[in-house]
Chain A
C-alpha cells in the first residue's frame, strides 16, 4: 500500500519533468529545376573539322558552362533566402 502511494505521488510530481516538443519547422525542399545536373561538355569527335565547326563546339561548351554557373548562383540565392526565412522562425 505504502509503495503504491509512493508510486502515485512520484508519478504525479515526476510528470512535471516530461517535456515534449510539439512543433518543429522543416527546411523547405529545393525546386526540381535546381536539382538538375549540369550538361556534359561536347567533344569534337572527329579527326578533321573546319575552324568554324571547332569554334561552334567551343562556344556551345562555354554556353553550357554559363547555364551551369547561373544554376549554381541560383542555388546560392535559394539557400541564403530560405535560411533567412528558416532562421526567422526559430528566433
Chain B
C-alpha cells in the first residue's frame, strides 16, 4: 500500500487518535459550548477521520505482517544461497577428483598397451580404411557415399 509507505507512522496514529477524540467530542461532549456550536461538522469530520484512521491502522498492521514475512523469506533465501554455494564446492571437488581419476586410469591403460600390445606391432598392421573409419567417427563425419543430407534425414523422420 503506497500511502502507508509514503505517510509517516506517526501521522497515521494521529489521524486515528484525532478521529477517536473528535467522535467522542462530537457525540458525548455536546454540552461544551464550542463543541455544541460546531457539533455537526465535528461529527462528520471526526467520523471521516476515524474511518480513514481505522483503514490506515489496518494497513500498517498488514505492512508489519508483510515485513515480518519478508524478513523470514530473506533469511530463508540467504540460507538457501549458502547451501547452494556448499553444493557448488562439493560438486567442483568431486568433478576435479573424478577427472583426475579417469585420466589416471587411462594412463594406466596406455602403459599396459606399451607393455603388452607393442610386441604385436610388427605382425599386426592397421589397414588405411580402418584409420579413415576411425577418423571419420572421431569427427562425426560419414563416408562420402550412402548418407543422406541433413534435410533429407529430417524429412525421413
A12-B94 Cα distance, complex, nearest whole Å: 58
A42 to B80, CA, bound (A): 42
Interface residues on A, range: 35 or more
The 0/1 profile, CB within 8 Å of A marked 1, for residues 65-96 of chain B is 01000100110110011011101100110111
Once A23-B70, A47-B131 are accepted as A-B contacts, the answer to whether A59 and B113 lie under 8 Å apart by CB is yes
Do B77 and A25 touch across chains, with their CB atoms under 8 A apart? yes
Which listed segment binds A: B19-27, B38-46, B133-141, B143-151? Answer: B133-141
In the complex, given contacts A51-B117, A63-B106, A82-B87, what are 20 additional A-B residue pairs having Cβ atoms less than 8 angstroms apart?
A: A11-B3, A15-B2, A15-B3, A28-B84, A33-B96, A41-B137, A43-B135, A46-B131, A48-B126, A50-B126, A54-B126, A55-B117, A56-B113, A57-B134, A59-B113, A67-B99, A70-B95, A78-B87, A88-B76, A89-B76
